[in-house]
């Protein structure tokens, strides 16, 4: 297992967007479940992220509060149909200040665990951006996911954290990954609030600093591209092409309807022409921003174009 760097832009400059097609998104999400583990202790259950895996050995990152008792820790890969038990081989590396822990584990079985690369996002998520948490709900073996959105890009009490809506996020999600809408890692779930509908996640930049620094996990610095992933900018370009194709198809459809109406002497809805013009203007803006590599502005223009497109679809 290797983390794969998805972007090389500065950590604070990129906004995320839902840029993968639905089929690609589903396939990517299904693969990512194999990079998440369930962690069992006598009185605790949580999740973890696979940093590295080589045959029967693996390195797992999780929340420190999940494993701080350091007793009888068992780890299971969600992607392993045999539910092979993995055990901790060395003392747990922990950094309670950031609620982070790293486990070096060994399989009790003979075969290697399924694995998939994790893409690292090039930025922390912005307020309002969608996120998806993956983890264990504490009730059964199977993995779960929960969609939400970032409501505070920086927690008022701890700048190393961000807050997101916790719909369906359960206690067992602690230590599990939080992905942006392009399924790139942006954080780790560390706390579920009891007073509001929010969860807290440790920011990716803090995770990477701890892994490379106090934990001294050298493998992370030798990034290996195991599976090519779309950068956010490349993904936005894919999204632009998809919306453009849909806009073109709808324009042609309404063009035929307009000619048919005019040939029969009927008026044609002027609001349709206005909505087409609005969509085209948003797409033109998005293209300018993409050409200028202005990712956040391109995202907003594409969001507006997609909304106009939905309105056009409703007019059919």
In the three-class reduction of DSSP (H, G, I as helix; E, B as strand; rest coil), residue 257 is classed as helix
- pTM for this predicted structure: 0.62
What residues pair up with 52 in beta bridges, in sequence order? 59
Which pLDDT tens digit goes with each residue over 116-160? 667 777 778 888 889 988 888 766 656 677 888 899 988 888 888
**Model pLDDT, residue 26:** 66
Report the distance separating Cα 173 and Cα 189, nearest Å: 6
Q: Which portions of the chain are predicted below pLDDT 50?
A: 1-21, 219-230
Question: Domain residue spans in the chain?
Answer: 1-227, 232-314
**Model pLDDT, residue 16:** 34
Phi, then psi, of 71 in degrees rounded to 5: -125, 130
Q: Where are the beta strands (DSSP E) in the chain?
A: 3-5, 36-41, 44-54, 57-63, 74-77, 85-88, 93-95, 100-107, 118-120, 130-136, 143-152, 161-165, 177-180, 185-192, 198-203
Q: Please tell me the class of the 1-227 domain.
A: mainly beta
Which pLDDT tens digit goes with each residue over 255-298? 888 888 888 888 777 788 888 888 898 899 888 888 877 777 78
What residues pair up with 273 in beta bridges, in sequence order? none
């Amino acid at each position: 297992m290797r983390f794969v760097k998805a972007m090389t832009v500065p950590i604070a400059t990129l906004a995320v967007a839902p840029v993968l097609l639905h089929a690609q998104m589903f396939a990517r999400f299904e693969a990512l479940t194999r990079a998440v583990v369930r962690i069992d202790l006598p009185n605790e259950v949580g999740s973890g992220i696979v940093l590295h895996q080589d045959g029967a050995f693996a390195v797992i990152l999780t929340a420190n509060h999940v494993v701080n008792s350091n007793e009888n820790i068992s780890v299971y890969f969600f992607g392993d149909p045999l539910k092979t038990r993995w055990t901790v081989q060395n003392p747990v590396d922990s950094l309670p200040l950031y609620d982070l822990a790293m486990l070096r584990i060994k399989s009790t079985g003979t075969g290697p665990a399924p694995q998939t690369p994790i893409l690292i996002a090039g930025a922390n998520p912005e307020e309002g951006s969608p996120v998806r948490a993956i983890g264990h709900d504490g009730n059964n073996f199977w993995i779960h996911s929960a969609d939400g959105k970032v409501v505070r890009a920086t927690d008022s009490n701890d700048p190393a954290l961000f807050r997101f809506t916790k719909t369906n996020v359960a206690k067992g999600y602690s230590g599990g990954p939080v992905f942006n809408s392009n399924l790139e890692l942006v954080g780790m779930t560390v706390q579920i609030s009891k007073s509001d509908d929010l969860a807290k996640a440790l920011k990716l930049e803090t995770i990477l600093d701890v892994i490379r620094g106090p934990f001294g996990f050298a493998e992370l610095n030798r990034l290996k591209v195991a599976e090519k992933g779309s950068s956010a900018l490349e993904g936005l370009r894919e999204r632009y092409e998809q919306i453009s194709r849909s806009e073109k198809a709808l324009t042609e459809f309404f063009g035929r309807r307009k000619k048919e109406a005019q040939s029969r002497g009927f008026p044609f809805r002027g609001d349709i022409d206005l909505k087409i013009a609005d969509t085209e203007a948003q797409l033109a803006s998005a293209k300018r921003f993409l050409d200028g590599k202005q990712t956040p502005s391109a995202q907003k223009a594409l969001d507006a174009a997609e909304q106009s497109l939905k309105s056009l679809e409703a007019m059919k």
